[in-house]
Structure 1
Amino acid sequence: MTIETVVFDIGNVLIEWQPERHYDAVIGKARRMDMFAAVDLHDINDQIDRGAPFRETIEVAAKNYPEFHDEILMWYFDWIKMAAPAIPHSVALLRALRTKGIRVIALTNFGIESFEFAETKYPFLTEFDQTYVSGRMGCVKPHRLIYDMVEAGEKTAPARMLFTDDRIDNINMAASRGWQTHLFEGSKGWAEKLVSEGLLTKAEAGL
């Protein structure tokens, strides 16, 4: 079935998202491991992705864990250094699809304020035909509701949507709804998928 809409995740698809890597570089791996064992920072980040206020949520967590107060605050103050760098080939694929007139949208777990900040650092985030940001929607992947909301907004048959994401649970939920899917494990594999679907030529896909 012909693909009408290509759906990009953002973290680890268009922008690397590796908080542990940043912490290891700044405070050392041992200190980072102790902190992550004591504080579920990814769960706290999920709250932000569901729409909780970014700075306030991190500040509350810092107060709740005084032994890691300064390091937890880094999740806010150093956030853009954790969400870096961009993945150039993936960005080129986004732009190549749009150049050909193919509808390209984003479906991302992202906080409201952090996404607005990211748009100022990564202009390509403003180039989608539509952007579905979990913080604005009040729910996150892989919950069924967020896929319901995308389908309602797009009014495209699920089988005509091709979705790439780096997390298998997000992919599995989309596939269960009839979406075409691709588990992102690198931009080359994603480029090859777009070529195999007839959306781009090898040259257009940078292959």
Structure 2
Amino acid sequence: MTIKAVVFDIGNVLIEWQPERFFDSVIGGQRRREMFANVDLHGMNDRVDLGKNFTDTVMATADANPDWATEIRMWHDRWIDMAAPAIDHSVRLMKALQAKGTPVFSLTNFGIQTYDIAAEVYPFLREFDRDFISGHMGVIKPNPQIFQMLEDESGLSGDALIFADDRDDNIAAAAARGWKTHLFRNPEGWAARLVSEGLLTEDEAK
């Protein structure tokens, strides 16, 4: 089947998402490792991605962990510093696909409030042909339901879709539904895959 739409994850595909790197730079690697070992910050972030209020969730976690409260509040106050920078080559690929008339969808684990923060800094986040944002959907990858919801709303399924994501579990979930998939490691590899699928020329994929 001809590919009808290209589906992009956002974190570490279009925008770098590296909380550990941020905290290493601010509090040092040893203290960061201790904090992540003692506080389930990724679980906290999953709750935000499921649609819980960003401020309320982070501040409640800080209040529940007074030894780490100052650092945890940075997750809120300096969130955009963890979601940086944009991966410019990937953004160019998104725009090149759209310029050729190929629809581009997002499929991302992202909070409601944090997406709005990010879109102020990265306007391309408002330029997808269709948005599938977990905070609004109430479900996160790799739950099969989120993939089903995209299929139901777009009317596309199986190998009419090609999906790039940086996580093996998300790729496996999409592949189980028959989607074409690309495990994202760098934009050059993603560009080469889009060329090999006939969606872009080599010049368009630069």
CA root-mean-square deviation: 0.5
Tell me, which stretches of 5 or more residues in structure 2 are unaligned?
none
Tell me, which stretches of 5 or more residues in structure 1 are unaligned?
none
Distance in 2, matches of 1:199 and 1:146, equals: 25
Q: Could you tell me which residue of structure 1 aligns to residue 153 of structure 2?
A: 153
Amino acid at match of 2:64: N
Distance in 2, matches of 1:111 and 1:194, equals: 28
Q: Could you tell me which residue of structure 2 aligns to residue 75 of structure 1?
A: 75
Query: What per-residue deviation string (whole Å, max 9, x for no partner) do you get for residues 98-148 of structure 1?
Result: 000001000000000000111110011111001100000000000011111
1:2-151 alignment runs, 5 A limit: 2-151=2-151
Count of residue pairs brought into register by the alignment: 206
Structure 1 residue 204 displacement after superposition: 0.1
Query: What per-residue deviation string (whole Å, max 9, x for no partner) do you get for residues 10-60 of structure 1?
Result: 000000000010101011111111100100100110000000100000000
Q: Could you tell me which residue of structure 1 aligns to residue 205 of structure 2?
A: 205
Does 2:179 correspond to 1:179? yes
Structure 1 residue 157 displacement after superposition: 3.0
Aligned-residue identity in percent: 55
Structure 1 residue 2 displacement after superposition: 1.2
Distance in 2, matches of 1:158 and 1:120, equals: 33
Q: TM-score, normalised to structure 1's length?
A: 0.99
- List structure 1 runs of 4+ shifted beyond 2 angstroms: none
Distance in 1, matches of 2:101 and 2:173, equals: 27
Distance in 1, matches of 2:202 and 2:115, equals: 32
Residue 15 of structure 1: SS of its match in structure 2? coil
Amino acid at match of 1:134: S
Q: TM-score, normalised to structure 2's length?
A: 0.99
